[in-house]
Amino acid sequence: MNWLETLRTSFEAIRAHRLRSGLTMLGILIGIAAVILTVGLGQGAQAQVASAINSLGTNLLVVSPGSATTSTGVRGGSGSATTLTVHDATALAAPGVAPDIAGVAPTTTRSTSLAAGATTWTTSVVGTTPPWLRVRAKTLDQGRFLTEADETGEAAVVVLGPTTASELFGSTNAVGRTVTIGSTPFTVIGVLASAGTSSALNEDDQAVVPISTAADRLTGGANRTSVQAIYLEATTPDTLSAAYQEANQELLVLHHLASAASADFTINSQQSLLNTASSVSRTLTLLLGGVAAISLLVGGIGVMNIMLVSVTERIREIGLRKAVGASPVAIRRQFMVEASVLGLAGGLLGALLGIAGALVLPHLIAIPITISPVAALVAILTAIAIGLVFGVYPAGRAARLAPIDALRSE
């Protein structure tokens, strides 16, 4: 029996038992679709996290203050101290101090109520300097951003995020309007372009004012020169490490610290945040993929059971073929081909279902799903392999049947 005859006989056997063959493929189909969707969800989550981190700014380093300890000995978390100041940011921005740092933007942030007439809205008010727009990779939708003159003159001007502007002024152009922050009226000079939201932060809901204005008119007190973070932009992605070293060394000198072990600040790179988030996403993807792979195992066992039933039902046919000269190799090949065809059909249908789910589900759950051609191909090959592996025993059993025993079987 040649290969063409083997294929024809296998397809006829599968077609003769459509319902049983369909149920056999169903297990593999569900498993393949689950694997493709799981991998797609994992890759989509990684892409979403990367996009959220990249939206913070390009080539970004974030300097945060260390932890504070109260007079009673209670230690706060990282960022609770007031060890970073505007002076630190000014020193880092000075020419020649850190040649691999292209921009420096100190920030202070506090949640404050804004009022526009009878409308109020509570949002994050960010005090910063003009380089913030470039360092944080933001763009303007309307108006202009802060200038050095605004910073030097402690101008009462504000740039609103698009969500903040919408909540306060609706669809009306916000530029030129007045909002009250605390008890001080501010003139709106610009509106930021939408940057999107994440699970932790709405980048579109904020109000940006000059850091000098925030210190004197909103914060006040002894800590008015303290900042909660300093954003640093490296000149290129390749100089990010050099910028890190330069900033670290300069801050150690400014804070009169002898070694990095005693540093009262921390510097986090964009890449370290991305690596951590991606590592978590990959772990979850592997975990969910393992769970989905269990259904493939169940599907493989289903293939083996169906092939064993097929061998039992076709004992007389096997005996007749052997009696007219069919070799054990030909009998084994026929059943292996049947199992492979079931695996291939289930794999292809599962891949189509997985791709369809990847196209439809994002509209229902608002989570991106990345379609991976490699994952789809591997899934289909895995389905064929499952058919082959779990078809070995039934095929071998059929090949070992003695012709005389098979022919006299009822």
Integer Cα distance of 238 and 104 in angstroms = 18
What's the whole-number mean pLDDT along residues 369-375? 80
Distance of CA 58 to the CA centre of its chain: 18
What's the whole-number mean pLDDT along residues 124-150? 93
What Å distances lie between residue 255 and 86, 87, 252, 264, CA to CA?
13, 11, 5, 8
Looking at mean pLDDT, say which of 18-22, 40-44, 185-189 comes out highest. Answer: 185-189
For residue 270, the model assigns a pLDDT of 66
110 sits in which H/E element? strand 101-116
Half-sphere exposure of 44 (CA within 13 A, CB side): 18
What Å distances lie between residue 141 and 89, 97, 145, 297, CA to CA?
28, 34, 10, 54
* Angle (CA) 247 250 252, round 5°: 105
Percent of the chain scoring above 70 in pLDDT: 86
For residue 73, the model assigns a pLDDT of 44
* List of residues 6+ apart from 299 with CB closer than 8 A: 24, 26, 27, 28, 29, 30, 31, 346, 386
What's the whole-number mean pLDDT along residues 144-153? 95
Integer Cα distance of 354 and 348 in angstroms = 10
For residue 70, the model assigns a pLDDT of 44
* Angle (CA) 230 234 237, round 5°: 135
For residue 247, the model assigns a pLDDT of 92
Integer Cα distance of 45 and 48 in angstroms = 5
Summarize the chain as % helix, strand, coil (round to 5).
Answer: 55, 20, 25
For residue 13, the model assigns a pLDDT of 73
Using one digit for the tens of pLDDT, what is the confidence trace for 270-283? Answer: 666 666 666 776 77
Q: Answer whether 191's CB lies under 8 Å from 143's CB.
A: yes
The residue with greater pLDDT, 95 or 188, is 188
What's the whole-number mean pLDDT along residues 110-130? 93
- Candidates 186, 185, 131, 135; CA nearest to 157 is 186
The sign of the dihedral angle between the CA atoms of 290, 295, 297, 300 is negative
Residue with tokens 């020649």: 96
Other CB atoms within a 10 A radius of the CB of residue 263 amount to: 15
Integer Cα distance of 407 and 182 in angstroms = 97
Burial-class residue 44 by CB neighbours within 10 Å (0-12, 13-18, 19+).
Answer: buried
For residue 76, the model assigns a pLDDT of 47
Predicted confidence (pLDDT) at residue 68 exceeds the cutoff of 60? no
What mean pLDDT value characterizes the chain? 81
- Predicted model pTM: 0.59
For residue 188, the model assigns a pLDDT of 96
Is residue 176 helix, strand or coil? coil
Predicted confidence (pLDDT) at residue 198 exceeds the cutoff of 60? no
Looking at mean pLDDT, say which of 57-66, 251-260, 387-396 comes out highest. Answer: 251-260
